[in-house]
Amino acid sequence: MESHQARVRVRYAETDQMGVVYHANYIVWMEVGRVEFCRAAGLSYRDMENEGALHLAVIEANCRYVSPARYDDEILIETRIEKATPRGVHFVYEMRHAETGQKLAEGFSRHLFLDHNLKPMRLPARFYPQFGL
């Protein structure tokens, strides 16, 4: 899968005193995009963790803010895999205002594959198609 789009609507609790989305919420939206990307690829986090004993540990995350989002805006989160190896995966994200297309933020997160003991592991071959390997 090349990319996946998810949507969120800005809740009042996600805004700050200036009436714009608090910066940490973009990282949360990146997680929404990543989880929905995996689901669309046929892989739920719950199944991956319970049945596959596979966890994706965030080892790095970054977000660059371009334009503010405000209460009740609908946000489009586009997620894709930049790079995947048997040891980890690098996701990239772009968040836009759903109505205007205005870019709001862009970012990435890098993940290490861990086993049920939270030790680094190689990705089981049965998950290769979902991660583009």
> Could you tell me the CATH number of the domain that includes residue 42?
3.10.129.10
Burial class (CB in 10 A: 0-12, 13-18, 19+), 112: middle
What is the phi-psi region of residue 96: left when phi exceeds 0, alpha when psi lies from -120 to 50, beta otherwise?
A: beta
Residues of the chain with pLDDT under 50: none
Q: Which domain holds residue 45?
A: 4-131
- pTM exceeds 0.75, yes or no: yes
Q: In the prediction, which pLDDT does 13 show?
A: 94
pLDDT of residue 50: 79
Q: Which of 16, 72, 73, 115 is catalytic?
A: 16
What would the two tokens of residue 81 be? 């895999």
Each residue of 78-112: pLDDT tens digit? 999 999 999 999 999 999 999 999 999 999 999 99
- pLDDT in the model for residue 11: 94
Geometric angle at alpha carbon 99, from 93 and 104, rounded to 5°: 35
Q: How many domains does the chain have?
A: 1
Query: What per-residue confidence (pLDDT) applies to 65?
Result: 97
Res 109: pLDDT: 98
- The yes-or-no answer on residue 115 being catalytic is no
